Structure 1
Amino acid sequence: MKRVNLIILVLLAVAFLIIVERNLLNLSDILHLENPDAGIVLPFESEVSPDLRLETVRKGEEIPVLITAAEERLGAVVAAMNSVYQNSKANVVFTIVTLNDTVDHLNEWLTKTRLKNVKYKIVIFKPELLKGKISKDPQTLEAVKPLTFARYYLPAYLPEAEKAIYLDDDIIVQGDIQELYESNLKPGHAAAFSDDCDSASSKGFIRGAGNQNSYIGFLDFKKDAIKKLSMRANTCSFNPGVIIANLTEWRNQNVTQQLEHWMELNTQEDLYSNSLAESITTPPLLIVFYKRHSMIDPMWHVRHLGSTGAGNRYSPQFVRAAKLLHWNGHYKPWGRTSSFSDVWDKWFIPDPTGKFNPVRQHAED
């Protein structure tokens, strides 16, 4: 009888081990399925992040905000982040896309100033990602700023997010970023932008040089590839300096791959307008999102503060009422000449390393 019991116990033990082994194998398969992109080249080399502070007074849904950080414009990034953080009680988490040589400087600026409690992670951009997608023309290469293409890869930088906000660095947010985040996008739309013919024009909106407020200012409508799209040349363009992205739709529609396709095609057929005066990141976005994007409230993207004559077109009262200000154009608020630079100064935090100083402040010393 004892021998029978011993055999039964041995058989039960063997059965238990078999079940455990199968569960472990199944777990391995599940983990593999959850990481189907293993081996695929991503638009970043690594994530170099401080530990996100788990204990924070800011509760609720995380609001992902992506911003790029170029070394020569690091003061802009800090001012933009400070304005977002101070003007909202929302649980904002910044993803900062930068290059290797900027990480230490950026970390020191954020951890040794009033931004030390901000949640952020730093991701290193991979410039070789642009190989074969940018024209080899010397003038074009000179104008290319690799980090401006980070907005093309929002889902890769924010793999767990369903929705996110992208911000250029030359902005100041004066409203609660949660209001912008909660903007409604139409069904099937992967992004929302500010159209260049929106209602802000009646409140002092500045049109760009030439036809930069319409598609013909960005694309060459004489080229066959553009003709085949049947787009209207006088369609209002939009400004991609602020994007509200539905990342689920972005992934489902393969938006990143579409943008890369038009980048590559441009290197072969030169599809951009000869009068193009803005960033070369805009034309592919205009094509992919033609009549397939939602609108951002105009007061959430008051633009062209960096253009000539902005000081005469906008009243101080209007600037104070704006929820987001954008100094797109040649004249930056940390440069020698800019309209409403005093507004930007309120959010700028001096560099603890002393490496970055607003040019005009330096000139005044």
Structure 2
Amino acid sequence: MRTGGTDEAITMTMRKVNVAILVLLAVAFLIIVQRNLLNLSDFLHKEHPDAGMILPFESELSPDLGLELVRKGEEIPVLITAAEERLGSVIAAMNSIYQNSKANIVFTIVTLNDTVDHLKVWLSKTKLNNVNYKIVIFKPELLNGKIAKDPQTLEASKPLTFARFYLSAYIPEAEKAIYLDDDVIVQGDIQDLFETPIKPGHAAAFSEDCDSASAKGIVRGAGTQNNYIGFLDFKKEAIKKLGMRANTCSFNPGVIIANLTEWKNQNITQQLEHWMELNTKEDLYSKTLAESITTPPLLIVFYKRHSSIDPMWHVRHLGTTGAGNRYSPQFVKAAKLLHWNGHYKPWGRTSSFSDVWDKWFLPDPTGKFVPVRRHTD
């Protein structure tokens, strides 16, 4: 009887062990399946980012679960402006940034009061509904006395172009931040751009206009805007006193990596405002080549006092006549960030590589913003 009882106890113990093993295997299998589904989701989003849809299995999984798993680490503050007439460009830019990175990205969207509701609807009704963002209202009165009352340029009539001057005010809690123009598409991991080294004592990093990637995009029809003389009037006494060389390579402020601690310590915003105000009195900017009134103050304040961004992280001039065509499809595919600076935007009638931009555009749920194409059915 004792032997029989012992055998029965051993049998029961083994059954419990087997059950426990089966449970563990089942749990392990479910974890593997869930991870594979999440990885497949990421892959499909990257391959078909323009779909703007929730994949069938995503509706069964908690979307927050995937985000909690991959959106950890230090915050990466990204500031971008949102003008009503260009709102689709902001959405495409944000979508490309978000889908190509697993970093903990926090967007600061600077806009005007009349755009807020439209922007919120667009974000909430698409796959950007889980994006971490805050909206800041730009106050145009900040520019009173700093730009001409009768603006001669397109930039002057668009106050949001000056939002980059106030980076430290809009993102006061961060030590470092990224500013991006809205007409960009990011194809690399924004974490890599954020980790761009900034030299001690420098408040920002920019892309040099004489780097090999951007220089290829310059064409005669666009004007020689790759040096300081293209933006500033070196005949003016205030410019002469600075001792700057006219042939110094300029930089493009459409992408800025800012050390906000240095920005505050050096009073960069106040310096930029000083040169804006002085220009209204002495007309310091070049009239022959550049139309920009945003770039010249930055060129002055950061003259030989800025770090450099990898050229592949700011491939420019895709919106300039003929310039974008000088890039090969292979080069554009390899670029980490594409910038359609110039008159021709990828949501307009004609632009180089607009198909690349289209892949990241998410249709407007309200139907207000529709990309214009020359050939439509």
TM-score, reference length from structure 1: 0.82
CA distances 1:305-331 after superposition (whole Å, capped 9, x unpaired): 000113431000000000000000000
Count of matched residue positions in the alignment of Structure 1 and Structure 2: 311
2:312 counterpart of 1:302: no
Query: Could you say which residue in structure 1 is the equivalent of 2:188?
Result: 175
The answer to whether the 8 A contact 1:162-1:248 is kept is yes
Q: Which amino acid aligns with 2:129?
A: K
Counterpart Cα distance in 1 of 2:366 and 2:310: 38
Counterpart Cα distance in 2 of 1:172 and 1:280: 24
Q: Which amino acid aligns with 1:180?
A: L
Counterpart Cα distance in 2 of 1:311 and 1:252: 39
**Per-residue deviation, 1:140:** 4.1
Query: Could you say which residue in structure 1 is the equivalent of 2:137?
Result: 124
Query: Could you say which residue in structure 1 is the equivalent of 2:88?
Result: 75
In the TM superposition, structure 1's runs of 4+ consecutive aligned residues that sit over 3 Å from their partners are: 53-57, 140-143
The answer to whether the 8 A contact 1:196-1:207 is kept is no
2:228 counterpart of 1:218: no
Query: Could you say which residue in structure 2 is the equivalent of 1:243?
Result: 256
CA distances 1:11-60 after superposition (whole Å, capped 9, x unpaired): xxxxxxxxxxxxxxxxxxxxxxxxxxxxxxxxxxxxxxxxxx99733100
Query: Could you say which residue in structure 2 is the equivalent of 1:6?
Result: none
The answer to whether the 8 A contact 1:134-1:141 is kept is no
SS of 1:360's equivalent in the other structure is coil
Counterpart Cα distance in 2 of 1:186 and 1:322: 24
**Per-residue deviation, 1:207:** 5.1
The answer to whether the 8 A contact 2:317-2:324 is kept is no
Query: Could you say which residue in structure 2 is the equivalent of 1:254?
Result: 267
Gaps of 5+ in 1: 1-52
2:355 counterpart of 1:346: no
Counterpart Cα distance in 1 of 2:287 and 2:279: 13
Counterpart Cα distance in 1 of 2:182 and 2:119: 14
How do 1:96-115 residues align onto structure 2 when only pairs under 5 Å count?
Answer: 96-115=109-128
Counterpart Cα distance in 1 of 2:188 and 2:155: 36
**Per-residue deviation, 1:142:** 7.5
CA distances 1:117-155 after superposition (whole Å, capped 9, x unpaired): 110000000001100000123424784310000000000
SS of 2:134's equivalent in the other structure is strand
Counterpart Cα distance in 1 of 2:110 and 2:236: 34
Counterpart Cα distance in 1 of 2:156 and 2:232: 17
The answer to whether the 8 A contact 2:186-2:336 is kept is yes
2:183 counterpart of 1:190: no
Question: Could you tell which deviates more after superposition, 346-355 or 143-152?
Answer: 143-152
Counterpart Cα distance in 2 of 1:312 and 1:352: 32
**Per-residue deviation, 1:364:** 1.1
Counterpart Cα distance in 1 of 2:309 and 2:211: 9
2:376 counterpart of 1:364: yes
Gaps of 5+ in 2: 1-63
SS of 1:114's equivalent in the other structure is coil
How do 1:29-178 residues align onto structure 2 when only pairs under 5 Å count?
Answer: 56-57=68-69, 58-140=71-153, 143-178=156-191
The answer to whether the 8 A contact 1:135-1:141 is kept is no
2:297 counterpart of 1:284: yes
Query: Could you say which residue in structure 2 is the equivalent of 1:40?
Result: none
TM-score, reference length from structure 2: 0.80
Q: CA RMSD in A?
A: 1.7
Change (3 A) 1:127 1:75: same
**Per-residue deviation, 1:185:** 0.6
**Per-residue deviation, 1:201:** 4.8
CA distances 1:208-234 after superposition (whole Å, capped 9, x unpaired): 733311100100000000000000000
Percent of residue pairs bearing the same amino acid type? 84
Counterpart Cα distance in 1 of 2:288 and 2:258: 29
The answer to whether the 8 A contact 1:207-1:213 is kept is no
Q: Which amino acid aligns with 1:279?
A: S
Change (3 A) 1:201 1:159: closer
Counterpart Cα distance in 2 of 1:311 and 1:213: 16
Larger radius of gyration: 2
Q: Which amino acid aligns with 1:120?
A: Y
Counterpart Cα distance in 2 of 1:191 and 1:121: 23
CA distances 1:259-311 after superposition (whole Å, capped 9, x unpaired): 00000000000000012434210000000000000000000000000001134
Counterpart Cα distance in 2 of 1:351 and 1:86: 18
Q: Which amino acid aligns with 1:172?
A: I
The answer to whether the 8 A contact 2:153-2:291 is kept is no
Counterpart Cα distance in 1 of 2:257 and 2:225: 22
The answer to whether the 8 A contact 1:80-1:172 is kept is yes
2:333 counterpart of 1:333: no
